[in-house]
A = this chain, B = another copy of it.
Amino acid sequence: MAIAIAEAEAAGMRGEVPVGAVVVKAGEVLSRAGNRVEERADPTAHAEILALRAAAERLGEPRLEECDLWVTLEPCPMCAAAISFARIRRLYFGAYDAKGGGVDHGPRIFDHPTCHHRPEVVGGMEESRMAELLRAFFRERR
């Protein structure tokens, strides 16, 4: 999770919402990414999407079997659905996101019978630190 936090901090320095993500397989970091929506002018360039795509490219496979995703914030519905398509084994996330989250909030993507793959989910890791990272970012921008 330290790598995900470093990616989140780097994203914040670039003026992006500070979120970072890492894909790990058998103890090896396959990919790491921070949010790049503004820089790339890409509405889908969330940290999770970029990390999933990079890991899939590396494996040459759209399905990331036996891979885990670490991310600093509860994934939004878009990223949660992508995590399911990518067959991520375990999702570890930091702060819960009542406003934008799609795992434990809003559409609760994994809870629908039409969701074909539900990862194991460990949420709320280092909650206070992660929440502070976001709060500090939005405080500065106001």
A-to-B contact residues, CB < 8 Å: 37-38, 40-45, 49, 52-53, 56-57, 59-64, 76-82, 85-86, 98-102, 105-109, 112, 114-115
Taking CB atoms, residues of chain B closer than 8 Å to A59 are: 41
CB distance from A106 to the nearest CB of B (A): 4
Taking CB atoms, residues of chain B closer than 8 Å to A77 are: 77-78, 80-81, 102, 107, 109
Taking CB atoms, residues of chain B closer than 8 Å to A57 are: 40-42
CB distance from A64 to the nearest CB of B (A): 8
Taking CB atoms, residues of chain B closer than 8 Å to A100 are: 114
Q: A77-B77, A78-B78, A106-B115 are in contact. Are A85 and B44 (CB under 8 A)?
A: yes
**Known contacts A44-B85, A77-B102, A99-B114, then 12 further A-B pairs from the complex at CB < 8 Å, ordered by chain A residue:** A40-B62, A41-B59, A41-B61, A43-B53, A43-B62, A43-B64, A43-B82, A43-B85, A43-B86, A77-B81, A101-B114, A106-B115
Taking CB atoms, residues of chain B closer than 8 Å to A102 are: 77, 81, 107
Taking CB atoms, residues of chain B closer than 8 Å to A64 are: 43
Interchain residue pairs with CB less than 8 A apart (26): A38-B62, A41-B59, A41-B60, A41-B61, A41-B62, A42-B57, A42-B62, A43-B62, A44-B49, A44-B52, A44-B53, A44-B85, A77-B77, A77-B81, A77-B102, A77-B107, A78-B79, A78-B81, A81-B81, A81-B102, A98-B114, A99-B114, A101-B114, A102-B107, A106-B112, A107-B109
